[in-house]
Amino acid sequence: MAYEKELDIALLAVQRATLLTKSVYTSHSKGTLSKSDSSPVTIGDFGAQALIISSILHAFPNDEVVGEEDADDLRANPSLKELVWELVQAAKLDDSAAEDKIGGPIKSAEDMLEAIDAGRSDGGRKGRIWALDPIDGTKGFLRGGQYAVCLALMVDGVPTVGVIGCPNLPVDDKTLLDASVGIDADDKEGKGVLFGAVKGEGSTSRPLGPGALLDGNKISMKPLEDISQATFCESVEAGHSSHGDNAAIASKLGITKPSVRMDSQAKYGSIARGAGDLYLRLPVSKTYEEKIWDHAAGVVIVEEAGGEVTDAWGKPLDFGIGRTLKENKGVVAAPKAVFSQVIKVVKEVLGAKQ
């Protein structure tokens, strides 16, 4: 299989990072800071970014990484740095051969900061660049909702390998989406899924536990004969995606089921395994640029499960122009068979607002 080693390392790296995020999820103190754009970041985000970048650079020392976070706040705040360092030291895979493949423990707190800062690549159209979202859906993570640890390898600007770890999603691929999946989520018995995909090779899911070492189950989007029967998902946060526009689109498509709101790229994983059908992310702000790490992994997983993903105007997402998708607005994902029907209505709704 193409990119077998990359997928293997990415699965193990995400697996290990979720050990850390799960311990923060259930802890009272999440060390939350507010970033310059006033979005939240926690000790879980920093710790997961350190672990994953150190895994990737151990296996592929010449690759670049575009990571969401940087270590400035930790360098300025020694006690916060110490908290993250304790978490990072505690996150270890049970299987020692697997742990060795991703380089074993990080050696020192300074190495940890350097690993976090190795995510400062500007991205681009040439070569091998990983896009990393150490915790996607940080607001969900803080609220007790869904969140995801997301990693993708882009080759010459094209998302080629994608891995998403969702500690709070039901492990069973057959669990259909309803409102309960998105709210009051936990990682108890029967929860935790690891999605993986390689371009041209299909998408899989497996249990997030020690499951990174098992073969994945093939997943695919649900065949949808009648679009009015579709279940669509969208962000919980109304500031991230326009609930009003999404609802207008659903209604024009004849969809009567209420939307399923959930945080993070758990939405991409869910529709890829047929638990829901459509993902609508209609822009709220005219100036916001979607970040490549919020979509790269999800796009490979949905495309390889039989879906199509474009922006809200039907334009292909361009991951090769830097850290953001600045030439795109919004995101729409749907099964190939109904994609043109969906995008036509999305354009009508957006066009009416111009």
Ligand X SMILES: Nc1ncnc2c1ncn2[C@@H]1O[C@H](COP(=O)(O)O)[C@@H](OP(=O)(O)O)[C@H]1O
* Active site residue ranges: 45, 138
Write out the two tokens for 348: 């009508």
Restricted to residues 67-126, the positions that interact with Mg ion (CB under 5 A) are 68
Q: Which stretch binds Mg ion (CB under 5 A): 62-70, 172-180, 268-276, 336-344?
A: 62-70
- The single residue among 39, 217, 256, 341 that binds ligand X, judged by CB under 6 A, is 39
Nearer to Mg ion, 39 or 217 (CB): 39
Asked whether position 69 contacts ligand X by CB under 6 A, the answer is no
- For helices 336-353 and 243-252, angle between their N-to-C axes, nearest 10 degrees: 120
Q: Is 133 annotated as a binding residue?
A: yes
Restricted to residues 223-262, the positions that interact with Mg ion (CB under 5 A) are none
- The single residue among 117, 133, 308, 311 that binds Mg ion, judged by CB under 5 A, is 133
- Contacts of residue 135, Cβ cutoff 8 Å, sequence gap at least 6: 21, 42, 44, 45, 48, 141, 147, 148, 149
Cα-trace Rg, the chain = 19
Q: Which stretch binds ligand X (CB under 6 A): 54-62, 88-96, 207-215, 236-244?
A: 236-244
The residue whose two tokens read 């070569």 is 127
- Of 317, 294, 288, the closest CA to residue 139 belongs to 294
Contact 338, 227 (CB under 8 A): yes
Site mask for ligand X (CB under 6 A), range 138-167, x = bound: x-x---------------------------
Q: Is 225 annotated as a binding residue?
A: no
Distance of closest approach, residue 38 Cβ to Mg ion, in angstroms: 11
Q: Is 135 annotated as a binding residue?
A: yes
Task: Write phi, then psi, for 132 (nearest 5 degrees).
Answer: -125, 125
Contact 192, 212 (CB under 8 A): no
Contact 35, 41 (CB under 8 A): yes
Nearer to ligand X, 239 or 254 (CB): 239
Cα 52 from Cα 72, distance rounded (Å): 18
Q: Is 318 annotated as a binding residue?
A: no
Q: By the criterion CB under 5 A, which residues form the site for Mg ion?
A: 39, 68, 133, 135-136, 138, 294
- Residues at the binding site for Mg(2+) are 68, 133, 135-136, 294
